[in-house]
């Protein structure tokens, strides 16, 4: 069996198109027969295709949407006619990635007042199948400027935020950066803005 595992790294919108193929090749002189594959997890289906009778096969594995959580695992099993390997086990994992990821996950600014304006840089990466086009970035606070630098078109962008010297987040106030993405299933993307407290004296 090459390889004895199937790993999917997918986003929510790409799950339905995800496929992994595991090849099974019989190197024995006796022809090999295989049973229909069985999955111990309903989030995966498996289909057996014969490429060369008794000799070469493919197991086509697909995750079944919708997926909840971040990952799923399954064991795909096939019974065989071989006494040397009566059962073939295929370990299967799907890792559900968020479509967009911000690095760092939040924008942290120092406590006010500051001697100069404060700059912060975040990066947004697109894991999805569609291409993003970031536009109209805005922070729901006065005096914050945001500039977008597209590093890898559709896939990777950097955003530079400039905060005024007296920028302050009041207790309980929710401040965030919001930007339009150009993606139909995720039209806007938000990144929280937090402020470090003053150092204890």
Distance from C-alpha of 46 to C-alpha of 147, rounded to nearest angstrom? 47
Dihedral over Cα of 108, 114, 115, 117: its sign: positive
pLDDT of residue 201: 61
Structure-block tokens of residue 148: 């977008």
Beta bridge partners of 61: 20, 46
Structure-block tokens of residue 164: 């005024």
Give the residue ranges of the chain where pLDDT is below 70.
Answer: 1-3, 200-201
Residue (of 166, 157, 164) closest to 121 by Cα position: 157
Strands of the 145-152 sheet, one edge to the other:
100-103, 118-126, 156-163, 145-152
Residue (of 146, 12, 3, 100) closest to 61 by Cα position: 3
* Its pTM surpasses 0.75: no
pLDDT of residue 14: 82
pLDDT of residue 199: 72
């Amino acid at each position: 069996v090459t390889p004895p595992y199937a790993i999917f790294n997918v986003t929510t919108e790409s799950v339905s198109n995800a496929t992994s193929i595991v090849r099974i090749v019989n190197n024995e002189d006796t022809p090999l027969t295989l049973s229909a594959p069985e999955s111990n997890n309903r989030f995966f289906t498996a289909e057996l295709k014969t490429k060369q009778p008794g000799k070469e096969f493919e197991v086509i594995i697909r995750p079944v949407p919708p997926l909840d959580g971040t990952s799923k695992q399954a064991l795909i099993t096939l019974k065989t006619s071989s006494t040397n390997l009566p059962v073939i086990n295929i370990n299967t994992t799907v890792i559900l990635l968020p479509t967009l990821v911000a690095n760092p996950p939040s924008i942290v600014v120092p406590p006010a007042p500051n001697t100069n304006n404060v700059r912060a840089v975040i990066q947004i990466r697109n894991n999805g199948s569609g291409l993003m086009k970031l536009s109209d970035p805005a922070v729901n606070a006065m005096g914050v400027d945001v500039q977008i630098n597209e590093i890898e078109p559709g896939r990777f962008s950097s955003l530079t935020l400039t905060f005024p010297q007296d920028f302050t987040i009041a207790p309980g106030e929710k401040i965030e950066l919001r930007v339009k993405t150009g993606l139909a299933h995720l039209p806007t993307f938000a990144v929280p803005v937090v402020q470090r407290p003053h150092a204890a004296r």
